[in-house]
Amino acid sequence: MRRYGVFSAAAFAIVVCALVGGLLGRNALATAERVQDYRAFTAALGAVEANYIDKVDSARLVYGAIGGMLQTLDPHSSFMDPKYYAQMRERQGGHYYGLGITIQVIDGDVNVVSLFEGTPAYKKGIRRGDVIARIGGEEIKSWTDPQGKPLRGATLSDMVVGRLRGDKGTLVQVSLKRPGYDQLIDIQVPRDEINIPSITATFMVDKQTGYVRVQDFAENTDRDLGNALRDLKANGMKRLLLDLRGNPGGPLDQAIKVSNRFLPQGSLIVYTRGRIPNSDQDYVATERSEYTDIPLVVLVNRTSASASEIVSGALQDHDRGLIVGETTFGKALVQSVYRISEGAGLALTTARYFTPSKRLIQRPWDGTFDEYLNYTLRDQTPKTHPAADLRYTDVGRKVYSGGGIEPDKRLDGPVEGFNPTRFGRQLYARQAFGTFAERYVAEGDTRIAPRPGQKLVARGFTVDDATLKEFREFLGTEKVKLDDESFARDAEFIRAMIHYDIDMALFGLSEARRNLLSLDPQAQFAMQLFPEAERLAEMRKSKGIKTNNN
């Protein structure tokens, strides 16, 4: 959870003044020891710069030292070099000017790994799996560094991003390589403002059930959620399935505003406690909302963290919604983000947050953070809590501190709502389904360079046994060791993922998500629990708890 701040020249002057005051006062000894530490650091840096076998980048050394210092504190305090800090601000701001694609350099090729719907790249027919071979007529593989060496990795990626971005309305010429085509595909794409969506799917599941997937939290999340809820209500929504699975969090204020959409005015949402001034804050619902009594089921999983845990924790503590899925990640540390110098940034933990029932849901960590950071890779088992962890919701239901938000109704589904074998998870992790889908639809996508005799992959297609056989053959060409028993156990998961990625390639994320929801075991389980969510609302009323803004 991050709040924003600035480490300005004035702040630096205050620090210097504090050091001088310390030298003249009772803390002179401690300050002198600190100055000795600074001298030791600068001496070590000077020795490396003067004597190391190769010429070194001093900035990289200093940045590494700062990062190492922060790693002694907790898993979430971190240093951001200027590039990463700018990317973080861009993500949180929710927009930039460009084409609307995400790229990744793989074996020297610049691959398109995702697109945002409605963007210039999407409209012009660029799709996942395309390789950008030329920009402005220049072969990307001909680009070199000052020493004449071919650009690779992050350096090449940064160069490509810089060439693709630019002023709104200007054109960029790109040439694409695509499986199934012998010639490069040349496209001229106009640059435009790209809004990074945090709400990635909104639709009616049936005549009365709305669905919203909040992928992460950014500065426009509450605004976009408000628009989505209005559209769903206009289409007859009487109850809502709110999907926070895989949501890593974001700005604190957005978690508060999203919670406010579903809680009566005056409800406590979260409170923070820390050591610095202004870190002790209580945050309540300050706005009236028309969605405070709509039956609500919230989907979470082991990668739901931070802001998504604030929302699900507040709704659970106030018995406002039924939480379904897996125990969430367990991050209850608040980071304040400071711009320190030369465009670099520092995310420093400055407070802990607590849910309305006084739960601290932060999981403990080991000295290396390994167990903590690898939490999502392990199978979940029900926890046994000490009596000191027990808390109660508004109507008296038991909830617990320590280690994430535990669901009211549990069903494991770490991969898109499914719980596949290790073999299936490996296929998902190495993007085997997406790669297969890209090759499969190369024969069916007629938006760019259609060829005579192409078959069309139409809406409503099915992943039949023949397609499954093709996928097995594809895995063989990719040198994937087949596990026949696991393949059979994961058959429904494999079909669903192939369908999802073909939908993504041809028809967009919203349609892909809609079709996947009908197969998603976790989501289908949640859909059966609306009667229980309605009973929860009745319990609130019977206890005399405020349920709306009247």
Query: Which residue numbers are catalytic?
Result: 306, 317, 331
Residue of 125, 133, 81, 134 whose CA lies nearest to 101: 125
Q: Which amino acid is at 47?
A: A
Length of the chain measured in residues: 550
Displacement of CA 490 from its chain's centroid (Å): 26
Q: Which of 300, 316, 306 is nearest to 262 (CA)?
A: 316
Angle at 42 between CA 69 and CA 83, to 5 degrees: 55
**Closest Cα partner for 373 from 384, 365, 361?**
365
- Cβ atoms of residues 360 and 391 within 8 Å: no
Q: Which residues contact 336 (CB under 8 A, 6 or more apart)?
A: 2, 3, 4, 5, 347, 348, 350
Integer Cα distance of 95 and 107 in angstroms: 29
From residue 182, alpha-carbon distances to 132, 176, 185, 502 in Å are 14, 11, 9, 22
- Cβ neighbours around 14 below 10 Å, total: 11
Give the other-Cβ count within 10 Å of 543's Cβ. 11
Strands (E), 107-208: 109-115, 131-135, 138-139, 171-177, 185-190, 192-195, 199-204
Task: Give CA 286 to chain center in angstroms.
Answer: 27
